[in-house]
Structure 1
Amino acid sequence: MEMIRELGRGTFGVVSEMKMDSEVFAVKVIYFENQKGLKMTLKEIKIMKLLNHPLLVSFHTVEVTETKVLIVMDLIRGITLEEVKYSMPEGRLDLEKLKPIFAEMVCSINYLHRIQILHNDIKPKNIGLTFNGHVKLIDFGSAFFIKDEIKEIRGSLGYIAPEVLKREGCSFKSDVWSLGFLFYSIFDIYYQSPLVKGTKPHPITNGAGLAKRVVVFSADGLRSTALFANPELSTFLHGIIREGSGVWGISKSHVPTESRPGHVAMLAGFYEDVSAVTLGWKHNPVKFDSVFNQSRFSYLWGSPDILPMFSHELSQASSWMYTHEEEDFASSDAANLDRWVFEKVLSFFKESENNQELRRKLDEDKQIFFLHLLGLDTNGHGYKPNSEKYLKNIEVVDEGIKNISTFFNNFFKDEKTAFVFTSDHGMTDWGSHGSGTDDEILTPFVAWGSGIQKKISKQVINQVDIAPFISALLGIAVPMNSMVEQYNIRRTEREANSLPYMFKDFPGFKSSVLNKVQEQISELKGQRRLDQAARFCVEWIPRKFEIRPN
């Protein structure tokens, strides 16, 4: 069996395109060590063996090795409804083109219900569309027989029927609700690009920044409660918190709580992954600005799912990534992904000892070192965030951050390094993310080092504030896509396209208010009363957000 490419990942396994005896199939792999996943896989096999319908993916065989189960299925020659959705303007689809698709979806669900099976995970990603225009319903990992009376929550949170979320049990109506919500969501609630034209970079200073370099640690999938409720697992980070040697608190992310939009928010300063507009999570069809673009040099280590969206075709960025195979959700020790990152960073600096040009570059300012740590997300999906593997992974991350922090301070010896630790999103108790629960939205934030004011009290920030925070530390321009810059452009557009009596400014952002603020700051700056100007900004910003429209 020869692997050709990975097709997708789920909570319990990986689906890949594989070649067997000159034929190509889709193969789902589940490892024995994941007992819950294995149990559900056996039920999935039993269900798939019963299926005989042209609108459902066909089951071929099962192969069992010493460590895993492989389900061999038809390879769908086409794309998913999710990918079709993202290829349309503003993420919405044409009704006339969708009518036959909807009809076939109803037929496929009706067939399942007639043989007493609930699919239980109806969503755009599980609706395959062949290149000749027909539906193929896929992924029966959450399916079960109606007689089993399952009351646990299965499926994808955004499409689960209310009675299922209340643990009142599932029925055929649950599938119908999910199908109806899918129809509605395709037309009404999918993403629109937040990017606006005409934005310009605004340099924070013409001089040196507060720090020469910023090291950013992103612990993918780490929810704030897991970190703060277990201080014994992160003695280094909690030492910073306890001693007041940095700043710490909560970073509030935003729906959809996924890895890519979370990283766009923290590193580019706006909500929503721009690739969601057209091609799902695969590409970046729309260019956007980020702290990496504004840096002098950037160095990135981590996942091939995250790094290319920032480093691709960026001349001042260098990246090091492990393979997709090493991201296996069923890995016996996903913390190895994080160890890999820490080791590669240290190897990079060791190389600079024999590379004078690299050593010279490293001594320059306005540099970003980004470490994407995927182990927690992987262990959270595979073993859940309350598991020993997930919690032990926090120890690995904390120890690695401690070592990197110590190394940077010893290597540069200039006390000009700032460190930022955070997460793109959290996850639910059952290891999912994508919606808006506190466990998914509230992520940890710890920063220390050069230019960072020390505070012992807890702070609460928005995830999009991290990008301008990094910019302020380095003295580089805030990314052009940041929320404040977009507000100014959109306000002007709205005013120009509205009848005078229908346009009303938000009170706190009226031009007269903002002009007075700018005049006062400029006056203080001209008098070289910079400390007072800074205090005025800090005092005014929170006040303006307390203002409510009349």
Structure 2
Amino acid sequence: MRKQSSGIPSHPNRPEEPQEFGDVSQYRELNAIGTGAYGTVYKAQDLKNEEIVAMKKVRIALTEDGVPMSVLREISLLRHLGKYNHPNIVRLIDICHGPRYDREMVLYLVFEHVDQDLNNYLEKCPAPGLSPEKIKDLMWQILCGVDFLHSHRIVHRDMKPQNILVANNGTLKLADFGLARIYDFNALLTSTVVTLWYRSPEVLLGTSYATPVDIWSCGCIFAELFTRKPLFPGQYEVDQL
């Protein structure tokens, strides 16, 4: 893969993170898949192998030294996790950088493309709903993915059916994990309403939290697989609590 300079100045106190980024011209945008609190997602084609991919376009706030070290660490971690190729984790293929401005730059995160999420999957599910055996299989896969993240000390923070992808062969893949710190800046710039239905009390209260917050979300999803409606459909934070 042809590489280009990241434009990130070297810094004596910086960790030795991968400083090279992929070439965004290798991918051709086909159409927007959706816009969320975390930026726009495009369906795209890798021109080298004609593979269909999903590209997330994210804006990063720059510091005086360039890209913040916290973001570099997250990128390094995402690359590291990608090497494991875990069946229940969406595969990160590439990270490219786009335009750079005075105070922000654009990053493109390139993932494998999966056709639908668990939310769509449940909506399309015919009556009377999923069998207990199917629910057991889906929850096993979700928890395998969560266990993998937690074993690498990653808290997802935003587990919900929209962030769980369902491949055509029935494999579930967790998406949008480990990106919370990368996205924090971007979340301030959008008016998109983020669902609170799967958030634990400690996240809603803004107190310290750890891996149990994801188990709370898994419990909410588990109930929804049976009832096909959200367990706690709060309208706003106090209502959710």
* TM superposition score normalised by structure 1: 0.31
Q: How does 1:368-379 map to 2 (within 5 A)?
A: none
Counterpart among 122, 125, 136 of residue 85 in structure 1: 122
- The offset of 1:122, in angstroms, is 0.8
In structure 1, C-alpha distance between the alignment counterparts of 2:34 and 2:72, rounded to whole Å? 20
Instruction: Give the aligned partner of residue 46 of structure 1.
Output: 76
Counterpart among 154, 174, 178 of residue 217 in structure 2: 178
- Helix, strand or coil: the match of 2:45? strand
Instruction: Give the aligned partner of residue 385 of structure 1.
Output: none
Q: How does 1:263-412 map to 2 (within 5 A)?
A: none
- The offset of 1:32, in angstroms, is 4.5
In structure 2, C-alpha distance between the alignment counterparts of 1:41 and 1:92, rounded to whole Å? 41
Matched, 1:30 2:58: yes
Contact 1:30 1:41 in 2 (8 A): no
In structure 2, C-alpha distance between the alignment counterparts of 1:119 and 1:188, rounded to whole Å? 24
RMSD after superposition: 3.1
CA separation of 1:61/1:170 partners in 2, compared to 1, >3 Å: closer, same or farther? same
- The offset of 1:43, in angstroms, is 5.6
Contact 2:45 2:52 in 1 (8 A): yes
Counterpart among 184, 189, 206 of residue 167 in structure 1: 206
- Helix, strand or coil: the match of 2:209? coil
- The offset of 1:54, in angstroms, is 1.9
Between Structure 1 and Structure 2, which shows a larger proportion of strand residues?
2
In structure 1, C-alpha distance between the alignment counterparts of 2:62 and 2:38, rounded to whole Å? 7
In structure 1, C-alpha distance between the alignment counterparts of 2:110 and 2:77, rounded to whole Å? 14
- The offset of 1:437, in angstroms, is 2.5
Instruction: Give the aligned partner of residue 136 of structure 2.
Output: 99
Identity of aligned residues (%): 28
- Helix, strand or coil: the match of 1:176? helix
Question: Counterpart of 1:437 in structure 2: which amino acid?
Answer: Y
In structure 2, C-alpha distance between the alignment counterparts of 1:12 and 1:58, rounded to whole Å? 18
Between Structure 1 and Structure 2, which shows a larger proportion of helix residues?
1
CA separation of 1:156/1:438 partners in 2, compared to 1, >3 Å: closer, same or farther? closer
- The offset of 1:101, in angstroms, is 1.3
- The offset of 1:92, in angstroms, is 4.6
Matched, 1:75 2:113: yes
- Helix, strand or coil: the match of 2:109? strand
Contact 2:135 2:225 in 1 (8 A): no
Contact 1:121 1:156 in 2 (8 A): no
Structure 2: stretches of 5+ with no match in the other structure:
1-26, 101-105, 182-193
- The offset of 1:73, in angstroms, is 1.4
In structure 2, C-alpha distance between the alignment counterparts of 1:34 and 1:436, rounded to whole Å? 34
Instruction: Give the aligned partner of residue 19 of structure 1.
Output: 45
CA separation of 1:18/1:189 partners in 2, compared to 1, >3 Å: closer, same or farther? closer
In structure 2, C-alpha distance between the alignment counterparts of 1:29 and 1:138, rounded to whole Å? 15
Instruction: Give the aligned partner of residue 9 of structure 1.
Output: 35
In structure 1, C-alpha distance between the alignment counterparts of 2:112 and 2:238, rounded to whole Å? 37
- Helix, strand or coil: the match of 2:29? strand
Q: How does 1:145-160 map to 2 (within 5 A)?
A: 156-160=195-199
Question: Counterpart of 1:185 in structure 2: which amino acid?
Answer: E
Larger radius of gyration: 1
Counterpart among 230, 236, 240 of residue 437 in structure 1: 236
CA separation of 1:143/1:23 partners in 2, compared to 1, >3 Å: closer, same or farther? same
Q: How many residues align?
A: 186
- The offset of 1:131, in angstroms, is 0.7
Question: Counterpart of 1:113 in structure 2: which amino acid?
Answer: H
In structure 2, C-alpha distance between the alignment counterparts of 1:163 and 1:100, rounded to whole Å? 29
Instruction: Give the aligned partner of residue 63 of structure 1.
Output: 96
Deviations 1:430-481 (A, max 9, x none): xxxxx413999xxxxxxxxxxxxxxxxxxxxxxxxxxxxxxxxxxxxxxxxx
CA separation of 1:42/1:75 partners in 2, compared to 1, >3 Å: closer, same or farther? farther
In structure 2, C-alpha distance between the alignment counterparts of 1:167 and 1:91, rounded to whole Å? 39
- Helix, strand or coil: the match of 1:186? helix
Structure 1: stretches of 5+ with no match in the other structure:
145-154, 192-254, 257-434, 441-550
In structure 1, C-alpha distance between the alignment counterparts of 2:161 and 2:117, rounded to whole Å? 7
CA separation of 1:179/1:157 partners in 2, compared to 1, >3 Å: closer, same or farther? same
Question: Counterpart of 1:187 in structure 2: which amino acid?
Answer: F
- The offset of 1:176, in angstroms, is 0.7
* TM superposition score normalised by structure 2: 0.67
CA separation of 1:159/1:439 partners in 2, compared to 1, >3 Å: closer, same or farther? closer
Question: Counterpart of 2:226 in structure 1: which amino acid?
Answer: F
Deviations 1:211-249 (A, max 9, x none): xxxxxxxxxxxxxxxxxxxxxxxxxxxxxxxxxxxxxxx
- Helix, strand or coil: the match of 2:202? helix
CA separation of 1:62/1:183 partners in 2, compared to 1, >3 Å: closer, same or farther? same
- The offset of 1:8, in angstroms, is 2.3
Deviations 1:57-98 (A, max 9, x none): 11122111224211111112x321101111124795332222
In structure 2, C-alpha distance between the alignment counterparts of 1:175 and 1:64, rounded to whole Å? 30
- The offset of 1:164, in angstroms, is 1.6
Deviations 1:401-453 (A, max 9, x none): xxxxxxxxxxxxxxxxxxxxxxxxxxxxxxxxxx413999xxxxxxxxxxxxx
